[in-house]
Amino acid sequence: MRRNRDSDDGIGQDAFLDTTANLVGILIILVVVVGTKTKIDAEEYSRRAAETQAASDLDAPRAEAQALAEALVRHQRTMVEYELETEYRRAERDALLERVQLARQSLQERLAAASAEQQRRVAEAQRIEELRSELNKKLEQLGVDDERPRPKIVLEHLPTPMARTVFTREVHLQIKGNRVTLIPWERLVEMLRRQAPLAAGRHAARGEIADTLGPVGGFLMHFHMVPIPGGLELDRFELEPLPDAPAETLEEALGTAGRLQIELATRDPAETVVTAWVYPDSFETFRKLKARLFEQGFLTAARPLPWDVRIGASPHGTRSAAQ
């Protein structure tokens, strides 16, 4: 009986030890699991904490970088505005300098013109004084020596002193500034004959017509038409020479390549008269031209003009008188 009891006690102790061992094993496993999980959680926490810290550490530099970028954009915009303003001011300054330069140049030209005019007046005054002094000397000489022989005066004249009215074909010239300009008279008159009726038809309802033809050969023709019973008629026309109207010296005009000489080469002297419209500074040139043309068999007619009068004609005017 005792042996059986001891055997049962041994079995009970083994079972207790097994249970204890199992519990200890379970506890160990739990400890390991808990430790592992704790380690994982700790590592995850550390990683998240590190990321959070890194993110928070980058916030300040990122904000600073963003602020710098915005400041750079504002600076660039400001620089562009400054450049535009500078360019505008530069253009404004250049325009102002140009106006100043033009004003200075105009002032210099006026001063030069005034100086030249003053010099001319002084020279004229000196010349007048010299002529007056020379005249006084001549008068004194005449008063002292009345018996002194007088020099012979030769009068030059052409063999045709009588004037006759021109009813033949005419060649018209302008003589101004001692230069000869051939006037395309026939071409302008022919253009007027064609255009005047057309102008009268277009403006029949108007009281009068003033129009311009050309340019032809360096001249414009201004014509004026007035109303008459049943229509309009020509009142007068005037010729306006343009700055580029070809003007030649007397020698050039009568040279082999001169415009006047070429025109006269196609004319019959017996049927052609040269009409010269002469301004006050060119009568001597006209006198020489008249003599030269007479040698070629052409008669001339003079039309003296004041400075402020244009070359012109009227259906009610007078014809040229040739000599």
- Whether 63 and 106 map to the same domain: the answer is yes
**pLDDT for residue 264:** 92
Per-residue pLDDT, 311: 94
Measured CA distances, 17 to 12, 14, 22, 77, 85 (Å): 9, 5, 8, 87, 99
Same domain, 188 and 77: no
pLDDT at site 303: 93
Cβ burial 263-293 (10 Å sphere, 16+ → b, else e):
bbeebeeeebbbbbbbbeebeebbeebbebb
Q: Could you give the CA distance from residue 47 to residue 50 in angstroms, rounded to a whole number?
A: 5
Task: Report yes or no on 174 lying in a domain.
Answer: yes
Which residues, given as ranges, of the chain have pLDDT below 70? Answer: 1-13, 54-57, 114, 136-168, 203-205, 317-323
Q: Look at residue 267 in the predicted model and tell me its pLDDT.
A: 92
Instruction: Show which of 104, 123, 153 is a domain's final residue.
Output: 153
**CA distances to 24, 29, 42, 43 from 39, in Å:** 22, 15, 5, 6
The per-residue pLDDT for 297 is 92
Do 285 and 241 share a domain, yes or no? yes
What's the structural domain count of the chain? 2
Answer whether the bond into residue 269 is a cis peptide, omega within 30°.
no
* Domain boundary residue, one of 153, 179, 200: 153
Residue 135 belongs to what domain range? 1-153
pTM of the predicted model as reported, rounded to 2 decimal places: 0.48
Q: Would you state the structure tokens that stand for residue 72, as one six-digit string?
A: 């750079």
- In this prediction, residue 150 carries a pLDDT of 43
Q: Select from 129, 153, 177 the last residue of a domain.
A: 153
